[in-house]
Structure 1
Amino acid sequence: MLQEVLVLVVLFNVVSSTSIIKTLPGFSGDLPFKLETGYVGVGDLDDVQLFYYFIESEGSPEHDPLVLWLTGGPGCSGFSALVYENIGPLSFDPANSIGNKPQLKLNPYSWTKVANIIFLDAPVGTGYSYAKTWEGYSNMSDTLSAAETYEFLRKWLMDHPKFFENALYVAGDSYSGIVLPIIVQEISDGNEDGRHPPMNIQGYVLGNPGTDIDVDENYRVPFAFRKALISDELYESLKTNCKGEYVNVDPNNALCVDDLDQYNECIADIFTPQILEPYCTVSSPNPLESERDSDDLNIDSANLLSLPQLSRPWCRSYIYRFSYIWANDKTVQDALHVREGSIKDWQRCNKTLSASYISDVSSSLVYHQNLIKKGYRVLIYSGDHDMVIPYLGTKAWIESLNLTVDSSWKPWFVNGQIAGYRVQYTYKKYQLTFTTIKGGGHTAPEYKPEECLAMISRWFSFYPL
């Protein structure tokens, strides 16, 4: 087996660099888990250098699943999921962070308790990932991003042959709902075509996933009605006058336009990623500039860094400021073995990339339909207070797959309390679980870490939620 692997490495021309990280600025003492960082070259002449953080399972690395995690955006760093979404074992410690010295603490709800996880900065231009030439940044799209991520995973596995046999899952949230099913299709096709290495793909996990952006957005109106953000009368009028179409509206339909104006007035001060949290406006030192947390979460929190002190009410974006300070610190980049001069400024979510990104897949539903035949296990979860990608739209497209309901809608519990509601579907060997996370927002584990760790632990163990 080892001889075969060595031959494949030579044939596949794996070009990568890896480093084991023992300590990190802001964390006291040695890291109590195994952290590896590195680059894998993909594309023509390995022009694109994709950066990753790999954390071995704190349970049983040789037996626990291997997960490739993709943060949304497009252009949001894997580090954001690692420290803010409670997917990784570290988080920032606001209570003990002073000035430009963010402190890190252990996260008791890390998914690395039950899985080996690769947090990838993809596509190129995300986080610490970079290209050696300008051509590497050009024409980035859904399909190209998926192809480069698939190439990354092939090369990473060649460099880490001890994980060949681990069950492989691809996971992600938000905009990853577009790209991730394409990657799983690439893996499936590659296995069938005999590409090396063969991957032990078992399924995929999606949180509050974008699937068809117009359809997802269209469900914001029914969601607003369900959550009592608009009146019964306005909702009935919207349904009648807009005929169920609230996104691509005919401007000549005056009645619908008027209703939508009333709707927008009702939700204008709602923080759509989590409707129960404060809507925050961050004032810039430049009086001509003002920014807020946007619906797609592609905010640049740089303005927060200039604030002399945090204003009230508390806003979640204030915590994001720590990542900008920490990840742009030269000592941090040296500790992570980031290549000097490879990036100008680290951003949690790269707005420049997302502005030039080509969305060449309008809907990923066709990929989900194709993957039904493969017999995979699928987990799709939605924070039920997310108005960016409402759970109603996600549930609707899942129902359009015409699967058999194996277990009907019912609650599941953590510590004796309802943590969400789930329904299970099957088609032959294919199994899909859809669950809500009660009180969760757009990135559900960020808001409900204990419940989401229980969810993923049970699901990986084939245990009912």
Structure 2
Amino acid sequence: MQFWNLGFVLFVLISVNCSLILSDDHSDPITQQKLDQVSNLPGQNFNVDFGHYAGYVTVNKQSERALFYWMTEATHDPSSKPLLLWLNGGPGCSSIAFGMAEEVGPFHVGEDGKSVYLNPYSWNTVANLLFLDSPVGVGYSYSNTSSDVTSNGDKRTAADSLQFLLNWLDRFPQYKERDFYIAGESYAGHYVPQLSQAIVRYNKANAGSPINLKGYMVGNALTDDYNDHVGLFQFMWASGMISDQTYKKSNELCNRESFIHPSRECDQINDIAYQEMGDIDPYSIFTPPCTANGITKRLMRRWHKVGRIGQSYDPCTEQHSKVYFNLPEVQDALHVYHTNISRTWETCSGVVGMHWKDSPTSVLDVYQELISSGLRIWIYSGDTDAVIPVTSTRYSIDALNLTTIGPWRAWYDDGQVGGWTQTYEGLTFVTVRGAGHEVPLHKPKQALTLVKSFLAGTSMAPVTEQVTESETSASQ
């Protein structure tokens, strides 16, 4: 079963020159950093005041698995800023394609697919940003053992990502023991807490660990299959997208048992619901879909197997990235390893998603463990997403049975309601008004406000804390 209209992404190394990449494990850090440093990107007609680096980190020598990263330093005083790792979901979608090129990164791809422009709301204004294409087979990441690409799963992804961080910190020792955070969206609702759990356990077993994990944040995150389903159909019905009959039948036919033992009847009512929804983009129900190549909607039976939507607002940003990151000059600038095999870079790998080996039906148990460890944990949700909607997330949070310490209220950005928030013992929940599945794509300014509060450990600002430009001018 294929969940997206995607090509296959399969990087298989056959050249004897692979030692050029695999030798990085014992290289002098400063030398390797210089090799990874990126100068101007193709189509970049502006200068930047921060350094950025891209390349490979080997995570398994035996099979020669190597993960591709792109790191951008903070725009001001990077030595004082934390390190934040961003992960996209899928499973099988590229953090370069989405996190960097259309969401939180400083470089966004232009409409012509041959240029980049500077994102004024980039998260590297507040942190050093690290983007990782994980697992192998995603984006530019590869393995010299072809079977690796068809044997990915949650467990190995967490283990390889942990190994990546340890090896990457050896290459960039200036970030060892730096305050470290993880953020992501969608299927990264699995990746992010699972990697956080792996780090917490590693740190307990290894005194003096270089990974100083402080917390994580996930958006529109796959969390619990049953709660995700119940919340999804409630959202679709309340938004007027499906009939009363379909809503009632979904509750009758898709119970907890159907998620343990797949039910044909549940699958059929899912199909009916998506037919009733019509030709809209479920990742952002109030914005126009991308009609490039005749694609107006991405339907999936397991609706939570998602990586993205297609800014204000270009719904075809994914199509632009497909052009840009396939340009040979772009791949050269990013130090992408070239083989003699013809291959196409894709935003998401159908091979990886189709052959996923393990995916628990819930990660709520991981949350319970990590909340007790004292990490800062935030969950946010764009409220116009019909894939993993705000209702699904609220059901999953409710299942944690946490004590409320800050009641539900609106938060503000420039005097306008940016969304709503509630604080629990061990977790903060934030909604972003008018945002779809990819919150930083639809509401970049509000998303930057969100990450600033998260990193500072402060609650989202109530209206009384807002100072508008007119008020500031009047006081001067």
Scaled by the length of structure 1, the TM-score of the pair is 0.83
Distance 1:174 1:276 in 2: 19
Tell me if 1:124 matches 2:132: no
The answer as to whether partners of 1:14 and 1:155 remain within 8 angstroms in 2 is no
Summarize the Cα distance change of 1:155–1:456 in structure 2 as closer, same or farther, 3 Å threshold. same
Cα distance between partner residues in 2 of 1:246 and 1:263: 20
Matched, 1:88 2:105: yes
Decide which moves more: 51-60 or 333-342: 333-342
CA deviation digits over 1:198-244, x for unaligned, max 9? 3211111101111123431332210112223345x547744775486
* Counterparts in 2 of 1:21 and 1:247: CA distance versus 1, 3 Å: same
Q: Shift of the alpha carbon at 1:54?
A: 0.4
2:335 maps to which of 331, 334, 337: 337
| CA drift at 1:347 | 0.7
Deviations along 1:309-330, one digit per CA (max 9) or x if unpaired, are xxxxx99453322211111111
Aligned to 2:429: 434
1:305 matched to which residue of 2? none
C-alpha RMSD over aligned residues: 3.0
Which of the numbers 272, 277, 285 marks the counterpart of 2:287? 277
User: Once the 2 structures are TM-superposed, how far is the Cα of residue 300 of structure 1 from its aligned partner?
Assistant: 12
Partner residue of 1:43 out of 52, 60, 72: 60
Q: Among 445, 448, 456, which residue is 1:450 paired with?
A: 445
Letter in 1 for 2:392: G
User: Residue 33 of structure 1 aligns to a residue in which SS?
Assistant: coil
Partner Cα distance (2:247, 2:152) in 1:
42
Higher relative contact order (CA 8 A, sep 6+): 2
Which amino acid in the other structure matches residue 408 of structure 1? Answer: P
The change in CA–CA distance for 1:283 and 1:178 in structure 2 (over 3 A counts) is same
Name the CA distance, whole Å, in 2 between partners of 1:69 and 1:398.
22
Does the 8 A contact of 2:233 with 2:247 survive in 1?
Answer: no
Deviation per CA, 1:72-106: give whole Å up to 9, x if none: 11111121234444311111232xx3xxx622111
Q: Does 1:392 align with 2:391?
A: yes
- 1:308-356 deviation digits (Å, cap 9, x = unpaired): xxxxxx9945332221111111111111111111872111111122111
SS at 1:190's partner residue?
helix
Deviates more, 1:324-333 or 1:291-300: 291-300
CA contact (8 A) 2:179 2:214 kept: yes
Measured in 1, the distance between the counterparts of 2:206 and 2:271 equals 55
Match of 2:115 in 1: 103
Within 5 Å, give how 1:410-425 maps onto structure 2: 410-425=409-424
Identical aligned residues as a percent: 32
What aligned pairs does 1:309-388 form with structure 2 within 5 A after superposition? 316-341=314-339, 344-388=343-387
1:69 CA drift (Å)? 1.1
1: CA distance between counterparts of 2:138 and 2:288? 28
**AA partner of residue 441 (structure 1):** G
The alpha-carbon distance between structure 1 residues 173 and 14, as it changes in their structure 2 partners (threshold 3 A), is farther
Q: How many residues align?
A: 424
1:9-34 deviation line (CA, Å, top 9, x unaligned): xxx95579541112000111443321
Change in 2 beyond 3 A, CA 1:331/1:264? closer
Q: Which moved more, 1:13-22 or 1:353-362?
A: 13-22
Corresponding residue of 1:144? 156
- Displacement of 1:361 in angstroms is 2.3
The CA distance in 2 between the partners of 1:66 and 1:342, in whole Å, is: 36
Instruction: Please name the residue that 2:182 is paired with.
Output: 170
**Matched position secondary structure for 2:148:** helix
What amino acid is the match of 1:278? P
Gapped regions of structure 1 (runs ≥ 5): 1-11, 285-289, 302-313
Letter of the structure 1 residue corresponding to residue 411 of structure 2: W
Give yes or no for contact 2:219–2:381 (8 Å, CA) kept in 1.
yes
Counterpart amino acid of 1:394? T
- The 3 A distance-change label for structure 1 pair 199 and 229 is same
- Separation in 1, partners of 2:439, 2:54: 26
- The answer to whether the 8 Å contact 1:84/1:446 transfers is no
Please identify runs of 4+ aligned residues in structure 1 that moved more than 6 A: 243-247, 259-262
For 1:82 and 1:216, locate their aligned partners in 2 and report how far apart those are by CA, in whole Å: 23
Contact 1:298 1:351 in 2 (8 A): no
Shift of 1:456: 0.7
Deviations 1:398-453 (A, max 9, x none): 12212111101111011111111000111xxxx31111110111111111000010
Q: Is the counterpart of residue 71 in structure 1 residue 88 in structure 2?
A: yes
Q: What aligned pairs does 1:98-247 form with structure 2 within 5 A after superposition?
A: 102-194=114-206, 197-230=209-242, 233-234=244-245, 237-238=248-249, 241-242=252-253
Q: Is the 8 A contact 2:56 2:68 kept in 1?
A: yes
Q: Secondary structure at the match of 1:80?
A: helix
- Provide the C-alpha distance between the structure 1 equivalents of 2:146 and 2:270, rounded to a whole number of angstroms: 43
Using the alignment, how far apart are the partners of 1:297 and 1:260 within structure 2? 16
